[in-house]
Amino acid sequence: MTLFIDMDEVMADTYNAHIAYYNAEFGEKLRLEQCMGREVWQCVPENRRQSIYNHTSKAGFFRNLSPMPGSQEVIGELCQKFDVYVASAAMEFPVSLKEKSEWLDEHFPFLHWKKRILCGDKHILRGDILIDDRSYNLEHFIGRPLLFTSPHNLDQNGFERVANWQEVAERLL
Amino acid sequence: MTLFIDMDEVMADTYNAHIAYYNAEFGEKLRLEQCMGREVWQCVPENRRQSIYNHTSKAGFFRNLSPMPGSQEVIGELCQKFDVYVASAAMEFPVSLKEKSEWLDEHFPFLHWKKRILCGDKHILRGDILIDDRSYNLEHFIGRPLLFTSPHNLDQNGFERVANWQEVAERLL
């Protein structure tokens, strides 16, 4: 069984990094709990949104993300049962490509380079399960799509949902 | 119809670049015609093979490759008829990731980032046609595999073969 796992917001805590960068730049105290149901750029004044968009092209942004709680242990165990691939829509941010590769080397060294996919559209993936936080990635997947909960997708319906890595473990292991 | 196209040896002339780097380093005059039926590392003395392997981790190697003759025109036309994706097993060489992205921006600007896939194993691709110079990529592809001729695969049998981009055009357009 082939299992694809998205990186940002699923393996890597991109949302909290956006908040940390924003708070540092503007001396604010935005907290994750204030962002529920929204994209991070929807939580800041309109004239500061561009600053949020710019984070992803900053050197080091993707390299220094924290792994999501439990992701390393659970993905390690999933590798015993599934043919696990990382599938990240990283091609949008060329500066991120090497950083994402290095980040995986550090936090998920057991995921061989052959198991890493950087792509755009995810409907080109052939496999059995896809864990992703974006419904537009899950919609066209032929297989079992799992929506990984993120502040921005709380109001999303229509997909089997996993709230965190603990729930992924309960569902798949 | 979804069409996947490999980069090295198919869109980009990696083989001739290896020869050029080798000749420059050792003051040799190796020519492509002398390499027929062999990998480039098989065409040099054993004690120089490591130098060939090292090319792919050199900064600039992938950035400065020449597009294969006819590739730009034919792929441009294929984009009118197919849903075209580049699929490169680039994850082996992290330094190449950004270079490959920039190379595509320069030579194939019409291939949007969503149409670019950097991966390891290619059996995770879901689509109709795969053009590749490596039989191990074609073997597990569910669809129509096309072997793109390269010096190293001349003796390979068992796949529908295209000798160059002219032949791809004749076969698919």
Question: What are B131-147's pLDDT values in tens digits?
Answer: 999 999 999 999 999 99
For residues B40 and B50, give the distance between their C-alpha atoms in angstroms, rounded to a whole number.
12
A116 touching B (Cβ < 8 Å) = yes
- Residue spans of chain A under pLDDT 70: none
A98 touching B (Cβ < 8 Å) = yes
A123 touching B (Cβ < 8 Å) = yes
**Catalytic center residues of B:** 6, 8
Task: Tell me what pLDDT residue A61 has.
Answer: 97
Q: Choose the weakest-confidence range: B89-93, B103-107, B156-160.
A: B89-93
A5 touching B (Cβ < 8 Å) = no
Identify the bridge partners of residue B162 per DSSP, sorted by sequence position.
Answer: B148
Q: Which of B112, B120, B125 sits opposite A126 (nearest CB)?
A: B125
Inter-chain contact B98–A97, Cβ cutoff 8 Å? Answer: yes
Task: Tell me what pLDDT residue A90 has.
Answer: 86
DSSP 3-state of A62: coil
Give Cβ neighbours of residue A50 (< 8 Å, ≥ 6 apart): none
Q: Between chain A and chain B, how many beta carbons pairs sit less than 8 Å apart?
A: 87
Q: Tokens at residue A1, please?
A: 């069984």
Task: Tell me what pLDDT residue B92 has.
Answer: 84
Chain B environment of A123 (Cβ under 8 Å): 126
| Average of per-residue pLDDT across B33-55 | 97
Output the CA angle A63-A92-A158, nearest 5 degrees.
95
| Average of per-residue pLDDT across B48-67 | 96
Question: Per-residue pLDDT for B91 more than 90?
Answer: no
Q: What is the DSSP letter of A18?
A: H
Q: Tokens at residue A75, please?
A: 């993905």
Measured N-to-C along each axis, helices A165-172 and A71-81 cross at an angle, to the nearest 10 degrees, of 20
Q: Which of A115, A119, A127 sits opposite B117 (nearest CB)?
A: A119
Task: Provide the whole-model pTM.
Answer: 0.92
Three-state SS across chain B? CEEEECCECCCECHHHHHHHHHHHHHCCCCCHHHHCCCCHHHHCCHHHHHHHHHHCCCCCCCCCCCECCCHHHHHHHHHHHCEEEEEECHHHCHHHHHHHHHHHHHHCCCCCHHHEEECCCCCCECCCEEEECCHHHHCCCCCEEEEECCHHHCCCCCCEEECCHHHHHHHHC
Task: Tell me what pLDDT residue B135 has.
Answer: 96
For residues A23 and A51, give the distance between their C-alpha atoms in angstroms, rounded to a whole number.
11
